[in-house]
């Protein structure tokens, strides 16, 4: 079986979960060709991502003239299919916030992929994200390309479901993946009940770099870490405000922001205005190993997002035995249980965020480590990439039904021993 993966940007710093999923499928003997609509090579820092880039074919590296000529050739060789695809493009384009012109570009991209897929004998296309990759996959199918499926992460797909023609994409897909039960429920909202059977939950997963990392005790130093793109929806502006309140109380702590993004300058200016430069450090982009070290150097990970799917960095922190402070948003409560492996606050509440950060900084390490051990077990049970990829492989082979997928037994060393002393993972 030979399949293709299509992502808007691949590889990308924040898309390590796609790389892990592909690697797990290939370990099962499934051949996977990688395709990305655009390139973000300039921001790659992780060796694994750089290696993936060499295996990835970028659609828009093709000159525009070549895209146009290829579309004309396909229109002449498959006029009926091209007319159907053009009609569908106009249908979804007029109702799209991207406009008709952008959707016509998706049609041209789909025409090129039909050619590439035929040359490579691709039997199925799986797209990540229900935005333009799913649109291109759908048009590719109408043009005579392979069957397709796609993974929906949210929140954009749920915020703009009508403009993204989400129901049409679901209707034409072989199957659809949600990364959480919350995501599955949102997809139910935007499709006919007759389509519900093709929607399945397959979690994003971690590999052995996190699941089998040697356990490192939680440090006594008063340090918290936030990992994520510096943008409005991740809530770092409120996090800085909460940090300023703790500093005003005279609390000794450090907050490390790992990541970069469009809000970095504004965040830096806010830090300077509040006079808390000594309390907050911004690292910029980091590779997987660096992210791991920043998490291990902290007592807890904090992510006060307003909008999410189910952030992989929460899984990473829990897998490393670090409690998580986050929000009651989307799929996050499915993994983080308040008072058990972390804390949840109402999104947008600086006061609640400040209180939980103070708790994480002042709680005895022994109590933090008990919470961390629960997190380790939860991630091992629900977010092992090999187990989740096995579910996906079953769908690829059998369509809408996940049949008799064996449950992987969590490693014995994921479980805390009787003396309550942390053991190696």
Tell me if 160 sits within 8 A of 183, measured CB to CB.
no
My answer on whether 222 and 189 are in the same domain is no
CA–CA gap between residue 324 and residue 15 (Å, rounded): 21
Residue 392, helix vs strand vs coil? helix
Tell me: the pLDDT tens digits for 15-51?
999 999 999 999 999 999 999 999 989 888 888 899 9
pLDDT of the residue at 417: 35
- The answer to whether residue 31 is domain-embedded is yes
Sign of the CA dihedral running 126, 127, 128, 129: negative
Q: Answer with the one of 381, 399, 415 that is the final residue of a domain.
A: 381
- The answer to whether residue 104 is domain-embedded is yes
In 3D space, the residue among 372, 357, 209, 221 whose CA is nearest the CA of residue 292 turns out to be 209
My answer on whether 266 and 179 are in the same domain is no
- The answer to whether residue 406 is domain-embedded is no
pLDDT of the residue at 145: 98
Which pTM does this prediction carry? 0.90
Q: Answer with the one of 175, 201, 227 that is the final residue of a domain.
A: 201
Tell me if 341 sits within 8 A of 325, measured CB to CB.
no
My answer on whether 225 and 80 are in the same domain is no
My answer on whether 265 and 323 are in the same domain is yes
My answer on whether 312 and 231 are in the same domain is yes
pLDDT of the residue at 1: 83
Res. 148 pLDDT band, cuts 50 70 90: very high
Res. 401 pLDDT band, cuts 50 70 90: low
Tell me: the pLDDT tens digits for 194-208?
999 999 999 999 999
My answer on whether 268 and 345 are in the same domain is yes
Average pLDDT, the chain: 93
Tell me: the pLDDT tens digits for 226-275?
999 999 999 999 999 999 999 999 999 999 999 999 999 999 999 999 99
| Mean pLDDT along residues 297-314 | 97
Tell me if 300 sits within 8 A of 342, measured CB to CB.
yes
Of the chain, the percentage scoring pLDDT greater than 70 comes to: 94
My answer on whether 141 and 247 are in the same domain is no
In 3D space, the residue among 398, 404, 403, 396 whose CA is nearest the CA of residue 150 turns out to be 396
Give the other-Cβ count within 10 Å of 180's Cβ.
24
Q: Answer with the one of 358, 381, 404 that is the final residue of a domain.
A: 381
- The answer to whether residue 88 is domain-embedded is yes
Q: Which two tokens stand for residue 392?
A: 């996906």
Give the other-Cβ count within 10 Å of 229's Cβ.
16
Residue 122: CATH number of its domain: 3.40.50.2000
| 403 has a pLDDT exceeding 50 | no
- The answer to whether residue 420 is domain-embedded is no
Q: Which domain holds residue 60?
A: 2-201
My answer on whether 189 and 218 are in the same domain is no
My answer on whether 144 and 216 are in the same domain is no
| 421 has a pLDDT exceeding 60 | no
CA–CA gap between residue 187 and residue 154 (Å, rounded): 10
- The answer to whether residue 19 is domain-embedded is yes
| Mean pLDDT along residues 76-100 | 95
CA–CA gap between residue 224 and residue 35 (Å, rounded): 37
Give the other-Cβ count within 10 Å of 41's Cβ.
15
My answer on whether 229 and 169 are in the same domain is no
Task: HSE, CB side, 13 Å, CA atoms: give it for residue 68.
Answer: 3
My answer on whether 272 and 375 are in the same domain is yes
Res. 97 pLDDT band, cuts 50 70 90: confident
User: In the chain, what is the straight-line distance between the N-terminal and C-terminal CA atoms, in Å?
Assistant: 34
Specify the number of domains making up the chain. Answer: 2
| Mean pLDDT along residues 374-390 | 97
CA–CA gap between residue 184 and residue 398 (Å, rounded): 20
- The answer to whether residue 354 is domain-embedded is yes
- The answer to whether residue 85 is domain-embedded is yes
My answer on whether 70 and 130 are in the same domain is yes
pLDDT of the residue at 288: 85
């Amino acid at each position: 079986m030979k399949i293709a993966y299509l992502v808007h940007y691949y590889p990308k710093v924040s898309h390590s979960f796609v790389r892990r999923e592909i690697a797990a499928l290939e370990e099962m003997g499934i051949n996977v060709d990688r395709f990305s609509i655009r390139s973000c090579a300039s921001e790659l820092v992780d060796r694994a991502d750089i290696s993936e880039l060499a295996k990835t074919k970028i659609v828009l590296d093709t000159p525009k003239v070549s895209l146009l000529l290829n579309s004309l050739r396909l229109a002449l060789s498959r006029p009926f299919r091209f007319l159907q695809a053009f009609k569908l493009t106009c249908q979804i384009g007029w109702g799209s916030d991207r406009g008709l012109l952008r959707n016509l570009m998706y049609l041209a991209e789909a025409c090129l992929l039909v050619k590439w897929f035929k040359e490579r004998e691709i039997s199925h296309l799986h797209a990540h994200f229900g935005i333009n990759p799913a649109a291109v996959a759908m048009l590719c199918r109408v043009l005579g390309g392979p069957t397709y499926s796609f993974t929906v992460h949210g929140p954009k797909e749920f915020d703009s479901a009508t403009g993204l023609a989400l129901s049409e994409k679901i209707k034409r897909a072989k199957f659809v993946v949600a990364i959480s039960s919350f995501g599955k429920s949102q997809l139910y909202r935007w499709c006919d009940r007759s389509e519900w059977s093709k929607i399945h939950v397959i979690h994003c997963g971690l590999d052995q770099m996190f699941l089998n990392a040697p356990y490192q005790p939680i440090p006594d130093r008063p340090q918290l870490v936030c990992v994520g793109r510096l943008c409005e929806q991740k809530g770092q502006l409120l996090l800085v405000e909460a940090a300023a309140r703790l500093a005003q109380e005279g609390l000794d702590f450090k907050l490390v922001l790992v990541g970069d993004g469009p809000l970095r300058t504004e965040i830096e200016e806010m830090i300077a205005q509040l006079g808390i430069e000594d309390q907050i450090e911004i690292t910029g982009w980091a590779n997987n190993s660096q992210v791991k070290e920043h998490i291990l150097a902290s007592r807890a990970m904090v992510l006060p997002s307003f909008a999410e799917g189910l952030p992989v960095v929460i899984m990473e922190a829990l897998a490393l035995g670090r409690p998580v402070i986050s929000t009651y948003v989307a799929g996050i409560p499915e993994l983080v249980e308040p008072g058990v492996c972390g804390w949840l606050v109402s999104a947008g509440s600086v006061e609640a965020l400040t209180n939980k950060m103070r708790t994480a900084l002042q709680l005895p390490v022994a109590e933090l480590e008990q919470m961390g051990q629960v997190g380790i077990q939860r991630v091992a049970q629900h977010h092992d990439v090999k187990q989740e990829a096995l579910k996906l492989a079953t769908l690829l082979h059998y369509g809408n039904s996940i049949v008799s997928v064996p449950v992987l037994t969590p490693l014995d060393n994921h479980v805390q021993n009787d003396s309550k002393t942390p053991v190696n993972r």
